[in-house]
Structure 1
Amino acid sequence: MSIYVGNLSYQVTEDDIKGVFAEYGSVKRVQVPTDRETDRPRGFAFVEMGTDAEETAAIEALDGAEWMGRALKVNKAKPREDRGSSGGNRGGYGGGGGRNRY
Structure 2
Amino acid sequence: MGSKVYVGGLPYSTTDQQLNDLFAQHGNVTSARIITDKFTGQSRGFGFVEMATDDEAKNAITALNGTQFGGRTLTVNEARPQEPRSGGRGSH
- Cα distance in 2 for partners of 1:12, 1:87 equals 35
CA RMSD between the two structures: 1.5
Aligned to 1:88: 91
- Cα distance in 2 for partners of 1:18, 1:88 equals 40
Kept in 1, the 8 Å contact 2:12–2:43? The answer is yes
Shift of residue 88 of structure 1?
A: 2.1
Shift of residue 38 of structure 1?
A: 1.4
Match of 2:46, as an amino acid?
Answer: F
Aligned to 1:95: none
Shift of residue 36 of structure 1?
A: 1.7
Matching of residues 40-51 of structure 1 within 5 Å: 40-51=42-53
Task: Report the more deviating stretch, 77-86 or 30-39.
Answer: 77-86
Shift of residue 87 of structure 1?
A: 5.9
Kept in 1, the 8 Å contact 2:8–2:75? The answer is yes
Match of 2:41, as an amino acid?
Answer: D
Aligned to 1:58: 60
| 2:15 counterpart of 1:13 | yes
Q: Which has the higher contact order (CA 8 A, sep 6+)?
A: 2
| 2:81 counterpart of 1:79 | yes
What are structure 1's unaligned runs of at least 5 residues? 90-102
Q: Identity over the aligned pairs, expressed in percent?
A: 43
Q: Deviation string for 1:15-70 (max 9, x for gaps)?
A: 10111100111100011111122111110000000100100000000000001000
Kept in 1, the 8 Å contact 2:9–2:74? The answer is yes
Secondary structure of 2:25's counterpart equals helix
